Homo-oligomer: A and B are copies of this chain.
């Protein structure tokens, strides 16, 4: 295993400590609960937005904490749900009279932890609501899910509800907005290589030198099938053929297009994918209103990418363009 790591057991806490040290004054790290939170949260005049999930998907979600985004992220260990009591303690720390919105990608372990954490917080009189994200079109059920998985599209839910919360929206309105964004968001991913979890020290699965996993999950879960490596253009066409008819996205639609790197793929390749996706969507009469080409939700060092579409409307687009801050910036 060739990684920048000390003890694999300290991978997550050391990363979180780094995130907090790099953002003095704006972020706080609470080691007892693996928690990264805004220094100025909670606020009495806004709903607190919290995302939980396993680690290993950075910048999701601990680096998406900031004004207009998340108030806190409560990750578990690499590819592991946070313990229910971390969720409970997070809800207590973030308790606002307007409520706490818990964003959960659809994995059975995460849902269980958040359901139980919410129950414990409810018993304390903290109003919590859970919003589940399931944008991955690859498979209906999976190794760790009943129903579809939540993957990179959850960025758009975070961004939209984060902006609306900053504007004072109620928790009921945030639930409506978040569900609406999730409902018009679809993602498909492809792995060129497996990832190597620090505690395992070897690749999570095997892929032949000329094979790709079409529809891979962000924990290396199987997708639709193993395929032969194809050209960048062919892979994009195949991803679009999976994503576009699923909603469906249709001629005349205005969309956000995200090409998300899975951790080991350089951004140059992501723009090669973007180019084809842009051209093919134009061919279908679909207009790209917003473009996102970067790493948003990764799978450690996996080489691969995912493609996400969001159908925009007059409510969603201004929320995506609203000001926001987060730990990760290019300048």
A292 proximity list for chain B (CB < 8 A): 331
- Looking across the interface, which residue of chain B has its beta carbon closest to that of A300? B266
- With A59-B267, A278-B22 as given contacts, are A11 and B272 in contact (CB-CB < 8 Å)? yes
- Please determine whether A330 and B294 come into contact, CB atoms closer than 8 angstroms: yes
| Interchain CB contact (< 8 A) of A232 among B4, B233, B267, B291 | B4
Q: How far is the CA of A22 from the CA of B270 in the complex (A)?
A: 11
| Interchain CB contact (< 8 A) of A56 among B17, B192, B268, B330 | B268
A6 proximity list for chain B (CB < 8 A): 231-233, 272
Binary contact track A62-101/B, C-beta < 8 Å → 1, others 0: 0100000100000000000000000000000000000000
| Interchain CB contact (< 8 A) of A263 among B5, B69, B266, B291 | B266
Judged by a CB distance under 8 angstroms, whether A154 is at the interface is no
A245 vs chain B, min Cβ distance (A): 23
A6 vs chain B, min Cβ distance (A): 5
- Please determine whether B268 and A193 come into contact, CB atoms closer than 8 angstroms: no
- Please determine whether B272 and A18 come into contact, CB atoms closer than 8 angstroms: yes
- Please determine whether B55 and A278 come into contact, CB atoms closer than 8 angstroms: no
Interface stretch of the complex, out of A37-45, A113-121, A170-178, A321-329: A321-329
| Contacts A5-B272, A326-B331 supplied; 18 other A-B pairs, CB < 8 Å | A2-B209, A2-B303, A4-B265, A4-B273, A6-B232, A11-B272, A15-B272, A18-B272, A18-B275, A21-B274, A55-B268, A264-B264, A264-B266, A266-B301, A292-B331, A296-B330, A301-B303, A329-B330
| Interchain CB contact (< 8 A) of A14 among B63, B275, B320 | B275
- Please determine whether B330 and A5 come into contact, CB atoms closer than 8 angstroms: no
Judged by a CB distance under 8 angstroms, whether A166 is at the interface is no
- Please determine whether B159 and A229 come into contact, CB atoms closer than 8 angstroms: no
Q: How far is the CA of A298 from the CA of B331 in the complex (A)?
A: 16
Q: How far is the CA of A273 from the CA of B21 in the complex (A)?
A: 12
A233 proximity list for chain B (CB < 8 A): 6
A226 vs chain B, min Cβ distance (A): 13
- Please determine whether B193 and A2 come into contact, CB atoms closer than 8 angstroms: yes
A287 vs chain B, min Cβ distance (A): 11
- Listed by A's residue number, 17 A-B pairs whose Cβ atoms lie within 8 Å are A2-B303, A4-B305, A6-B232, A15-B272, A16-B271, A18-B271, A18-B293, A19-B271, A21-B278, A22-B271, A59-B267, A263-B266, A267-B298, A267-B328, A294-B329, A296-B330, A320-B331
- Please determine whether A14 and B330 come into contact, CB atoms closer than 8 angstroms: no
Judged by a CB distance under 8 angstroms, whether A235 is at the interface is yes
A298 proximity list for chain B (CB < 8 A): 266-267
- Please determine whether B5 and A328 come into contact, CB atoms closer than 8 angstroms: no
A63 proximity list for chain B (CB < 8 A): 267
A23 proximity list for chain B (CB < 8 A): 291
